[in-house]
Amino acid sequence: MRVTQLGSSRNLMTDLTKLNKSFSEANRQLSSGKKLLDLADSPLGSADLVDITQQSLRLDTYRFNINAGSYQLKTADSVLNEANNVLTSIFTLGSEGANETISSDSREAIGLQVKNLREQMISIGNTTADGNFIFSGTKVTTTPFVLSGGSVVYQGNSATNAIPVADGVEVVAGVPGDVTFSAVFEAIDDLVAAFDADDLDAIQAALGKFPAAETELGQARGRVGTSLGMVEKLSSMLDSREAVLTEQRSNIEDANALEVTVRISQLQTAIDAALSSGGAILRQSNLFDTLG
């Protein structure tokens, strides 16, 4: 009977060790709120967590790009609206100056107002967002518009900045100044020159270019609006994707407090039962049984 009692004692100690380990693990889960406390707890679950983390980091990059692009596009939309207002003001002044009944001095004063508004339009064209010029194409550190020799000159390029905002998806973050303000400054420059020359026919001719300039601004704003709409839609999609990843992460690593509490109770009952049933075995074992 010695071998049987010794085997039973060893089995009892093995079972108690396993139960105590499970009991300690369950208590750690309850206190931490996590069921994955170590990579070894679930190699498959840990691999899934690594993949989820990588996806989350990629979404963080897209989120940053979307926020930056959205800010730039909203800035562009706002200043293009302002540009349209300034263009309307210049056209109104030009129309007043085209009136044959006003004096040359009055026309000269109007011409000065037009020049001041041209300076305002140049400032609008040189708007920056996050330190970068938004209408200079990809030459974001180059001032797009300068006044040279009585005319406004564009120094940017015709390229566009596209930013990745989702897997395989890019959004154009702005519009180059040459397709936004070329007709605008051509019309304004001609109007300024006509006022300087006090030439009514030239003023009328310059005013005839303003509809094309207004159309140019409207088209640019339309392109900005399209990109802004796409960015806002993708932002909503990212929110949904982030929510899914958060739920997946929670399902893998978060412990259910109720389930863990029930498990702790069951393990405690099992330990108590093992100790109770094993007490007789331990009492029957003598020193030689224990030593084998």
Most confident of 12-16, 61-65, 200-204, 258-262: 200-204
Contacts 24+ apart (CB under 8 A), 282-290: 282/9, 282/12, 284/5, 285/5, 285/6, 285/9, 288/2, 289/2, 289/5, 289/6, 289/9, 290/6, 290/9
pLDDT at 68 > cutoff 80: yes
Residues 213, 214, 220, 223, CA torsion sign: negative
Got the DSSP string for 189-239? HHHHHHHHHT-HHHHHHHHTTHHHHHHHHHHHHHHHHHHHHHHHHHHHHHH
Across 163-172, 196-205, 208-217, 277-286, least confident range: 277-286
Give the pLDDT of residue 62: 86
The domain defined by 65-238 folds into: f41 fragment of flagellin, N-terminal domain (1.20.1330)
* 100 phi and psi angles, rounded to 5 deg: -70, -20
Instruction: Output the six-digit token pair for 223.
Output: 């392109």
pLDDT at 184 > cutoff 50: yes
Per-residue pLDDT tens for 185-212? 999 999 999 999 999 999 999 999 999 9
- pLDDT band per the 50, 70, 90 thresholds, residue 264: low
Per-residue pLDDT tens for 111-166? 999 999 999 999 999 999 988 999 999 999 999 999 999 899 999 999 988 888 88
* Strand, coil or helix: 164: strand
Average pLDDT taken over every residue of the chain? 81
Residues 128 and 150: beta-carbon distance below 8 Å? no
Query: Which residues have CB under 8 Å from 100's CB, separation 6+?
Result: 200
Radius of gyration of the CA atoms of the chain, in A: 38
pLDDT at 10 > cutoff 90: no
* Distance separating alpha carbons of residues 15 and 242, to the nearest angstrom: 43
Taking Cα atoms as reference points, which of 153, 207, 204 lies closest to residue 181?
153
* Strand, coil or helix: 112: helix
* Strand, coil or helix: 103: coil
* Distance separating alpha carbons of residues 58 and 24, to the nearest angstrom: 37
Share of the chain above pLDDT 90, in %: 44
Give the pLDDT of residue 84: 97
Tell me the domain boundaries of the chain: 2-35+254-291, 65-238
Q: Maximum distance among all alpha carbons in the chain?
A: 131
